[in-house]
Structure 1
Amino acid sequence: MSATTSSPSAPASAPSTCATLSFHKSDTIRLLSFPPDITSGLESIILACWPPGLESHGSFGQSYQYKVRGKPFGYYGTQHHVGGFRLLRDVLAFLYSRGWDLVTSLLCSRRYTAKDTLIFRQVVALRPAVEWLSLAPMGADKLRVVYDADGVRLFGMDSDHDHLGVLISGIKKVLEGLDYFEKGGWSHDSFEFEMKGRPWRSRGEASVKMRIMLMRVLETMEGHGWRLYSNFVQRTGSDEDRILDTWYFVRERVKVSTSVP
């Protein structure tokens, strides 16, 4: 009688420890492997921070997607771009508050319209409450600062608006020191610098100067308590123009006590 051998049983499929957030076309956010409370909870976040609202949402293959009205991830339209920065900032803040940490961003498509995919992992440790700010290089010569005060007082200053003014002055000083500063002003409830020399299209020795400027800006942000959380491509480019990363910063909230001694 011949002996029979049994093949080992396949191990049970382990639950995924990672999840992804990705951006598609000019108006779609797609979530993969997030639990149902995250995919459903995101609806109220989008409706609160994106005035045009939602076009549709539901399952898409093994993922769940939200399609919004307007074009937050499109190429043209400054107003939608600024709204898109706020939209993604609030999505990141929501995931952070639910214990999902961003591990890395990936460009995993060779299509010129591709945007980054963000990979998250859930963590158990408690994290401090933070606030958010984004820096967005735009066009060939612009840098936009998007920050919304939320009523907390930080670092002994009278208001968040005061802090933003000091931060903008610091960035302006960097640009002036490298002879980049052209002008600056407020639009779409954010501050936009316009720079000399089209730094985002620089080449040769000019590209070295541009990288020095980026290092100095990062040092200035860190000097004001901001830590770079992530940077990634969230907008559509063209076969002639690549879209630059948007930088997202976090800073721990420090509330001033209002109690009377």
Structure 2
Amino acid sequence: FGQETIQREEWRDGGTAYQFKLRGNPWISNGEDAATTRLKLLSLLDYFNNFGWKLHASIVISQDHPEPPPAYSLHQHACISLNSSDCLRFIRFPRSVIDVLRQTIIESWLRGIQREEDYEDAHEFKLYGNPWWGQGDDAVPSRILMIHILSALYNKGWYLLTSTHISKKPYDKDSLIFQLGIPPSPTSFFSVSFNDYDKLNLICAPSELIPAVQQTLGQETILREEWCDSGTAYHFKLRGNPWISSG
């Protein structure tokens, strides 16, 4: 992080934890500062990786004080952050990959790109529409966009390691952390989304998967089902409110 960033540091809890108190408010930063915060986390992940420590998961234990993931080798890690309701920020991806992602966005987000901007080692696309609201007319297209982005990165050898909530700002979304590996054989992706209190959508899923999901849910659980969004999504409306159930 650099000594200019560290306000205070000390061993805590009987020597089991080392704590850094940083200057400013990096977990609620905006714009270039937000990109810089994620770059520092990626550098930390790189440093740990050089000593054999791998990131396998991040867990939010306290919503009031979420800890960032232990942030992984040189430029083998990168990050996507979903910002505001319409911005995609790609942090530390090579320029060649940004070019691929630009074409992917153009082909899979029909509303188009409003503008692009470079931050420190990051490239941001501001899109038309509000894809990260995740509701209404943009609900399925936004998920199709992310399916194509994840597929494009995967086919270039960038594997999704984890998603983590770095920012504490109310409307900020998860950041997705990737590690570079050997490009795999081409594959395809689909999305499962849980909407409202009682809806489940299979987006870009092979039609042969539908019967298996029907059987798993059980006909007594399904209130209504149908293809929607020009056949790109299969929609289940379920009985009750399974996504807010208790006990």
Counterpart for residue 112 of structure 2: 53
Q: In 2, distance between residues paired with 1:172 and 1:75?
A: 24
Q: In 1, distance between residues paired with 2:238 and 2:244?
A: 12
Counterpart for residue 93 of structure 1: 151
Counterpart for residue 24 of structure 1: 83
Residue of 183, 186, 206 corresponding to 2:227:
186
Indicate the SS of the match to 2:197. coil
Query: Is residue 144 from structure 1 mapped to residue 186 from structure 2 by the alignment?
Result: no
Q: In 2, distance between residues paired with 1:85 and 1:92?
A: 10
Query: Is residue 172 from structure 1 mapped to residue 214 from structure 2 by the alignment?
Result: yes
Q: In 2, distance between residues paired with 1:56 and 1:85?
A: 21
> Quick one: higher RCO (CA 8 Å, sep 6+), 1 or 2?
1
Q: In 2, distance between residues paired with 1:167 and 1:64?
A: 36
Task: Check the 8 A contact 2:192/2:202 in 1, yes or no.
Answer: yes
Q: Which has the larger radius of gyration?
A: 1
Residue of 113, 126, 134 corresponding to 1:67:
126
RMSD: 1.8
Task: Check the 8 A contact 1:25/1:74 in 2, yes or no.
Answer: no
1:115: how far off?
1.1
The change in CA–CA distance for 1:75 and 1:144 in structure 2 (over 3 A counts) is closer
Structure 1 stretches of 4+ with a deviation exceeding 3 A read none
Consecutive unaligned residues of structure 2, counting only runs of 5 or more, are 1-46, 48-72
Indicate the SS of the match to 1:132. coil
Counterpart for residue 198 of structure 1: 241
Residue of 158, 173, 178 corresponding to 1:115:
173
Percent sequence identity over aligned pairs:
26
Query: How many residues are aligned here?
Result: 174
1:115 aligned partner, one-letter code: K
Q: In 1, distance between residues paired with 2:139 and 2:119?
A: 25
Counterpart for residue 12 of structure 2: none
Indicate the SS of the match to 2:200. strand
TM-score by length of 1: 0.63
1:75: how far off?
4.5
1:104: how far off?
1.2
Indicate the SS of the match to 1:39. helix
Indicate the SS of the match to 1:131. coil
1:174 aligned partner, one-letter code: T
1:204-245 CA-to-partner distances (Å, cap 9, x unmatched) read: 2xxxxxxxxxxxxxxxxxxxxxxxxxxxxxxxxxxxxxxxxx
TM-score by length of 2: 0.66
1:51: how far off?
0.6
Residue of 161, 174, 184 corresponding to 1:127:
184
2:96 aligned partner, one-letter code: D
Q: In 2, distance between residues paired with 1:170 and 1:15?
A: 43
2:108 aligned partner, one-letter code: C
Q: In 2, distance between residues paired with 1:32 and 1:41?
A: 14
1:104-147 CA-to-partner distances (Å, cap 9, x unmatched) read: 111112233221111111113x4122111111111100000111
